[in-house]
Amino acid sequence: MLSKGGDGLGELFLDGIVEDIIYANQENGYTVCVINCGNEPITLVGIMPCLAEGETIRVQGSWTMHSTFGKQFKVDYFEKKLPTTGAAIMRYLASGAIKGIGPVTAERIVEKFGEDALDIIENNPHWLCDIRGISPKRANEIHKSYTEQFGMRTVMMFCNEFFGPNLSVKIFKTYGSAAIDIIKSNPYRLCADIPGIGFDKADRVAMSLGVSADHPERAEAGVIHTLNVAAMNGGHCYLPKEELTEAAARVLGVDEQIAFMAAERLVSNQRLKSFSVGDMTAYALEELYSSEVYIAAKLHSLSNFKFPYVLEGLDEQITALEERYNIEYAPEQREAISHALTCGVTVITGGPGTGKTTIIKAILEICNILKFSCVLAAPTGRAAQRMFESSGKEAKTIHRLLEASVSEGGFHHFSRDEDNPINHKVVIIDEMSMVDTNLMCALLKAVKNGSYLILIGDPDQLPPVGPGNCLNDIINSQKFNVIKLDKIFRQAEQSLIVMNAHAVNRGEMPVLNARDNDFFFVEKQNSDDILGLLLAFVAERLPKKYEVDPLEDIQVISCTRKGALGTKELNAVFQEALNPKSPKKSEKKYGTVIFREGDKVMQIKNDYDLSWKRGNEAGMGIFNGDVGKILSIDTRNESLTVEFDGRITEYDFSQLEELEHAYAVTAHKSQGSEYKIVVIPAFDAPFPLMTRNLLYTAITRAKNMVVIVGASRVLNIMVGNNRIPVRHTALKHLLTII
């Protein structure tokens, strides 16, 4: 049966019996099936979890034309309907949809109860015991399985009004048939329990249920939401009392006193932590505060560990390395190598060309002589790859080192911890400026006392995307051995990239008019002119002159996502220039974005559950910042395959929110990566984004060449803008009071 939708938008309703399940993803509910709709077979595609052959369903959606499989019906909403005829009931029960009923039992049930069979199963399951082979226990299992099946229908109908099919499936998988009761009793539980549902979505449900603006549970959810937003958007691990109550009251639309009372209640039930920093009262999420406390305590413990031996002859070994490789270490390099293998915690900082890689190589050589096992790690896959290329030793992402996985609820779990620590004597972490509080806490839980922890990074780069500022807090606490490398070595002095990066970091304008070097600037004022020249450089001039691949070797780095020269617009423009539409390339529209075979894409969130293969090797996890290329798009099975540095992984279309184009990326997203050529547009953007450390970070991503196109006036503003937003973190305070 087919009828027009009542919303005037041209959507249709179909009623039919499921004839065949062609494909079903058990994780997200995406299904391809065939229904009989008035003796006409129709292919349905969409989110329809737990379907079984023989079920009667009603779907809402629209017709689409698939290039390979022809006419299909794309489902936006579905509900299961009870089969009414004996034949339909028989087929449904025989399909295996109900636990405890197979074809023979189905025939016996329908033979005895006819069209009343489903009513008996739901309301009088003990009557099933009259049928040969059904015990009371089995009758109860049949009843439970049946009610769960149609409990899902009720839950999906309720949740679809607010969340759509993907989140509705997550809700049912989390709460089961009790979902509606749980949501009605406290809709704000969704924020904590269901990834992808924040305060605003839960609040919409609450308002529809008549929850008052000043309801205690709403106020508490608003306070937690405010702290979560502060953590993810501002990097804060806590908020001062006045900032929290003002911001939460604004979100809730209530008086500040209501927000304050909610915060105090949350402290009482141990969901928030209240503490003092000087004369200020601070509030933090309990988990985040506990992480900072743990970091401080563990660093103190590692640093103060009394090694039961004394390493003798380190200076002689360092000298032997100098003679072997015909080099001379600077005094601070010798100090860094020596400290790294005599102190529990060593911090090594420095900009480009200051010899950090040389130090890592020396430490590895001496560890080999001492028979110390050593492991290298970095926050991103690209950074780990750089460590491997420069040191010759395998390096892992921190997530891989900790053997990260994901729970069914979408929350991460690390197999390596205090009970199952990293089995290495020396742990070297690079790109420490990118490591946030949560990851640092997880890392330290896996490092044994008696290990040598060596933290390497550049504190002048951008802070972590997540909450915290661990590297700077550790340095500024003045509690640990910090070796700052500031000498630029002779080979690096020949690079204008290195010299200009250090100039920018000192607040000086870079040299812009050099010839025959690795740093070029072209003055352009107008956005259209800047864009035109960017296109010419990336698509034609640079690849032709330097024989480089525009996708693999060139990276455009912008200071913002928005605007004509932000990454969003640049990606659309560069996609058409570098990977234009073609009949030979499949594509998928996702929101306003079109993904196409051959596209350069970036993973924008950690996904511990994505599996990948690389030859005979297999693993789990694709992480924030990983850049790859779309190999294929399978519109029939709603999947997309991407290669990340040789690792092949497959995405369901429902996971495409995890990907974005990477022809142009922000400076934050570029951290930890290195590119042969970096191209930077210099244009007027919001002042908080036109910062010195953002420009410095972008320049230091380049290995062979930097090209800046834009206004020197803008560069002058960025160099002079050393405004670094304050991050409220407790780590420095905690380290100083231990």
Question: How does pLDDT run across 567-599, given as a tens digit for each residue?
Answer: 999 999 999 999 999 999 999 998 899 999 999
Contact 709, 524 (CB under 8 A): yes
| Close Cβ partners of 452 (under 8 Å, ≥ 6 residues apart) | 340, 341, 343, 344, 346, 372, 425, 426, 427
How do residues 631-644 score in pLDDT, each as one tens digit? 999 988 788 999 99
Residues 207, 208, 210: CA angle, nearest 5 degrees: 65
- Quote the pLDDT of residue 95: 76
- Phi first, then psi, for residue 374 (nearest 5°) are -135, 140
In angstroms, the CA 177 to CA 189 distance is 16
The mean per-residue pLDDT over the stretch 24-52 comes to 85
Predicted model pTM: 0.82
Mean model confidence pLDDT for the chain: 91
Q: What is the mean pLDDT of residues 518-547?
A: 96
The CA distance from 141 to 135, in Å, is: 10
CA-CA distance, 147 to 140, in Å (whole number)? 11
Which amino acid type is present at position 431? E
**pLDDT computed for residue 7 by the predictor:** 43
At residue 165, does pLDDT exceed 80? no
Q: Answer whether residue 82 shows pLDDT above 80.
A: no
Q: In the 3-class helix/strand/coil scheme, how is 1-64 assigned residue by residue?
A: CEEECCCCCCCEEEEEEEEEEEEECCCCCEEEEEEECCCCEEEEEEECCCCCCCCEEEEEEEEE
Residue 90 has pLDDT above 60, yes or no: yes
**Which domains can be identified in the chain, with CATH numbers?**
2-168 (2.40.50.140), 186-291 (1.10.10.2220), 305-486 (3.40.50.300), 496-720 (3.40.50.300)
Angle, helices 241-252 vs 256-268, to 10°: value is 110
**Do residues 527 and 711 make contact, with C-beta atoms less than 8 angstroms apart?**
no
Per-residue pLDDT band at 3 (split at 50, 70, 90): very low
What's the one-letter identity of residue 650? E
Calculate what percentage of the chain has a pLDDT beyond 70.
Answer: 97
Pairing of strands 12-24, 56-66: antiparallel
Mean pLDDT of 470-479: 97
Contact status, residue 142 vs residue 101, Cβ threshold 8 Å: yes
Query: If pLDDT is split at 50, 70 and 90, which confidence band does 129 have?
Result: very high
3 state DSSP class of 200: helix
66 pLDDT higher than 90: no
- What pLDDT, on a 0 to 100 scale, did the predictor assign at position 97? 74
Sheet holding 702-710, edge to edge: 519-523, 702-710, 675-682, 554-558, 664-666
pLDDT value for 410: 54
The DSSP secondary structure of 106-162, one letter per residue, reads HHHHHHHHGGGHHHHHHH-GGGGGGSTT--HHHHHHHHHHHHHHHHHHHHHHHHHTT
* Per-residue confidence band for 608, with pLDDT thresholds at 50, 70 and 90: confident
Confidence of residue 373 (pLDDT cuts 50, 70, 90): very high
For the segment 166-193, the average pLDDT, to the nearest whole number, is 88
300 pLDDT higher than 90:
yes
> What local confidence, expressed as pLDDT, does residue 2 receive?
46
- H helices of 274-313, in order, are 286-303
The residue that leads in pLDDT, 516 or 498, is 498
Return d(Cα 421, Cα 449) in angstroms, integer: 10
Q: What is the pLDDT of residue 4?
A: 42
Residue 79 confidence (pLDDT): 80
Query: What is the tens place of the pLDDT at every residue in 103-118?
Result: 899 999 999 999 999 8
Q: Which residue has the higher pLDDT, 615 or 533?
A: 533
Q: What is the distance between the alpha carbons of residues 155 and 171, in angstroms, rounded to a whole number? A: 8
Residue 278 pLDDT level (bands cut at 50, 70, 90): confident
Q: Is the pLDDT of residue 251 over 50?
A: yes
Q: What is the mean pLDDT of residues 26-31?
A: 78
